[in-house]
Structure 1
Amino acid sequence: MRAVIVFESMFGATEKVARAIAGGLSVSVGAEVVNVDDAPSDLTGVELLVVGGPTHVHGMSRAATRKSAADQVAYEVRSRTGIREWLNSLESLPPGLAFAAFDTRIDKPRVFTGAASLGVTKRLDRLGGRAAAPAESFFVGTGSIDAGPEPGELARAEAWGAALGAAVRRTVA
């Protein structure tokens, strides 16, 4: 089974979560982790697509929110483009492609923060994908702009990846 994890990350937290998810998936399947800047437009042969990014202003980032985030640090951010733009560039998904979506956000009720993963799920569903798991949020620190994942979140991401891999394995077997 081929799994691809596409992530958008400004300061590295979402990339760390994506790599932890890949670690969990590796129990069942191998997973390729790809920055959205290098994400494929042809998903032929992919059996599981996992897409994640940071939550900006209640949803997926936009050019203006990425610029605002980048202006807050003195180093280059990890992703130059966003998952919104990548998803918009896809015409369709291979029939029945299983997918899962995740995001990173602060640990506050979703009604106050929003969740980028919900928008990702809607778009992948419209493109013909099949949700393999509900959208998931992983929490990042608020101490500084690049605080990284909260304690325990990488372990939770790895466990989510393992559960996702096992669920998809059962449906494909």
Structure 2
Amino acid sequence: MRAQVVYESMFGNTAAVAEAIAAGLRPHFEVTVAHVAEVVNHPAPQVDLLVVGGPTHAFGLSRTTTRQDAAGRTDDAVEIEIGIREWLDAALPVPSPRSAAAFGTKIARPPWLPGSAAKGIAKRLRHLGYHLAVAPADFHVEDMTGPLRSGELERATEWASQLATTALALPGAPR
């Protein structure tokens, strides 16, 4: 059983969550983790479970303009041209039902702040023909650039463990 975690990250928070998710999946799957820029030429991953995540920017998935803004807030290299939005919009529909899950990172406060990259990712995955094994999940950062809220990496690993169990129990799941 193979799983792939594809993520977009500006400040390292979403990347850390992606690695925590991979750790939760590894007891059940052979897992690869890749930044979206690494898979841009692979629009239809050949895996049993696809997990996709990104940061919430301006109440949803990042755009070129929001990535440019993020690049101005860090000394790290930030991929501006390609993000999860563009990758999924260019992706090929899956030929048969496959399992997927969506996650995102977003600012924890104020708690009523709307928007979620995870929900936008989930919508795009369903449109491509994926079956969402679990509801989209948001993991919280304290501020725009982080850090992750205490306990979020552990919560991500637990979420992934539950995701693996659910995905393996779905009808038609490879054995």
Q: Report the TM-score when normalising by structure 1.
A: 0.92
- The structural deviation recorded for 1:105 is 0.3
| Letter of the 2:9 counterpart | S
Equivalence map 1:8-157=2 (5 Å): 8-39=8-39, 40-44=42-46, 46-77=47-78, 81-108=82-109, 112-142=113-143, 145-157=144-156
- Aligned mates of 1:23, 1:147 — CA distance in 2: 21
| Letter of the 1:170 counterpart | A
Q: Deviations over 1:96-119 (max 9, x none)?
A: 110100000011467523100111
- Aligned mates of 2:156, 2:80 — CA distance in 1: 20
Q: Deviations over 1:36-59 (max 9, x none)?
A: 001222323x11000000000010
* Greater displacement, 106-115 / 46-55: 106-115
| Letter of the 1:137 counterpart | D
Task: Tell whether the 8 Å contact from 1:53 to 1:104 is kept in structure 2 after alignment.
Answer: yes
Identity of aligned residues (%): 40
Cα RMSD after superposing both structures: 1.6
> Which consecutive unaligned segments of at least 5 residues does structure 1 have?
none
> Which consecutive unaligned segments of at least 5 residues does structure 2 have?
none
Task: Tell whether the 8 Å contact from 2:44 to 2:93 is kept in structure 1 after alignment.
Answer: no
Residue aligning to 1:162: 161
- The structural deviation recorded for 1:65 is 0.2
| Secondary structure of the structure 1 residue equivalent to 2:50 | strand
- Aligned residue pairs total 170
User: Are residues 110 and 103 of structure 1, via their aligned partners in 2, closer, same or farther at CA, if it must alter by over 3 Å?
Assistant: farther
| Secondary structure of the structure 2 residue equivalent to 1:113 | coil
Task: Tell whether the 8 Å contact from 1:105 to 1:113 is kept in structure 2 after alignment.
Answer: no
Q: Report the TM-score when normalising by structure 2.
A: 0.91
* Greater displacement, 3-12 / 113-122: 113-122
* Greater displacement, 125-134 / 110-119: 110-119
- The structural deviation recorded for 1:128 is 0.8
- The structural deviation recorded for 1:147 is 2.5
* Greater displacement, 146-155 / 125-134: 146-155
| Secondary structure of the structure 1 residue equivalent to 2:20 | helix
Q: Deviations over 1:42-82 (max 9, x none)?
A: 323x1100000000001000000000010112231367521
